[in-house]
Amino acid sequence: MRSHLFRIVFVLNIRCIYAYYQRVRIEGTLTQAIKTANLTKIFNSKLIAVNNLNLEVEEGSIFGFLGPNGAGKTTTIRILLGLLYPTAGEVTVFGEKMTPNSAGLRKRIGYLPTSPKFPPTMTPITYLNYVGKLFGLTKAERTSRLSSLTRAVDLLHSASHEIKGFSTGMITRLGLAAALLNEPDLLILDEPTLGLDPVGRKSTLDLLENLNSKKTILVSSHILSDIERICTHIGIINEGKLIYSGTIKEMKQHIKKSSIQLELDGDVTAFCDRLRSVEDIVDFERRGDFTVELSFAPNVPILRIVQNVLSIVSNEGLDLISINSSSDSIEDAFLTLLEEEESRGFLRAVEP
């Protein structure tokens, strides 16, 4: 009898597990850290800040959230945090609906706003200790995390100084430490490298890359090189609408061009004369004294072009300073997508 019951329970468990993974495979909803469904926010019955936004952020990803000023990024983030009610649609975080009353869900989120404000007479230690108490951390937990976080964001030497004397970069780093204090599952960062010097930017980006193995991160930033360096996925919003969502690689492929740019040192004129004899090169143009951009047929493998061009560089005795594809830049992809969306918007406006 026992063995018979055991077999029944075992079979039921297997079926439940199979059903679970089928739902993950088919629906994909169980692996989303953030999911919005037809999210809309209208202010004063006339300003559409967010327009029918359907956004998905996979667990374990670093998601770059881009858009021009006024595109709706900050409004979307405030709704994701439950700080604003949407006019229509909904947000789920880790499968749970987010509302202004979702205090328990917000404990799983770390948030860094743009240009955060802190009590000026507090020190990083007193402020972070206060935040830790709000999260219900024990004294031992607070002590351990304060020490590691102030070191991680390079504020250890200023930990006992009043915040009122801090630079913009130091304020941003303190905000990042506060966002990480509760060891959140999800980090939402609005301009996390704002005001940082090159060293501070690098250490912050290194920290975020290291955190990615443990957390899901949504980053909103205007520094596209930062997004390109650390993000695995990207979403672009314009006038409240999501105009692109996918991986960084897919975004670059969207505007892939058949051209490369070389920066050279030496007799560039002789180099250009030699380019005329390369069959696959359609056109080339000098940009200044040392840079040449050349175009080739779309069906020609870029590797073959590069090999031929580098052979000329070597034969002419030039030094190659740099070489890159015009599709390497996320900035180009970003601007191209915005231009395409603006063109579609213009056509919609003039159509009868």
Q: Are 267 and 318 spatial neighbours (Cβ–Cβ below 8 Å)?
A: yes
Distance of CA 99 to the CA centre of its chain: 24
Answer yes or no: is pLDDT of 332 > 90.
no
| β-strand partners of 190 | 220
- Model confidence pLDDT, tens digit, residues 75-88: 999 999 999 999 99
Structure tokens of 213? 């193995």
Topology of the domain comprising 32-253: Rossmann fold (3.40.50)
Contact (Cβ atoms closer than 8 angstroms) between residue 121 and residue 104: no
Q: How confident is the model at residue 195 (pLDDT cuts 50, 70, 90)?
A: confident
**Beta-bridge partners for 187:** 110, 217
Task: Express each pLDDT in 214-230 by its tens digit.
Answer: 899 999 988 888 888 89
Residue 217: closest CA among 192, 246, 242: 192
Q: CATH 3.30.70.100 spans which residues of the chain?
A: 257-325
Structure tokens at 238: 């314009």
Q: What is the pLDDT of residue 306?
A: 86
Q: Give me the CATH topology for the region 257-325.
A: Alpha-Beta Plaits (3.30.70)
Q: Which of 104, 146, 100, 153 is nearest to 125 (CA)?
A: 146
State pLDDT tens for residues 235-292: 999 889 998 898 887 776 665 567 788 899 988 888 888 888 888 888 888 888 889 8
pLDDT on residue 26? 40
Contacts of 45 (CB under 8 A, 6+ apart): none
* DSSP conformational letter for 231: -
CA atoms of 154 and 159, how far apart (whole Å): 9
Name the band, by pLDDT with cuts 50, 70 and 90, for residue 31. confident
Nearest CA to 217 out of 67, 90, 111, 95 is that of 111
The total number of residues written for the chain in this structure: 352
State the angle between helix axes of 124-134 and 168-180 in degrees (0 to 180), rounded to the nearest 10. 30
Which residues are 296's β-sheet partners?
A: 281
**Within the chain, which residue ranges are assigned CATH 3.40.50.300?**
32-253
Instruction: Please answer whether residues 114 and 137 qualify as being in contact, where contact means their C-beta atoms are separated by less than 8 angstroms.
Output: no
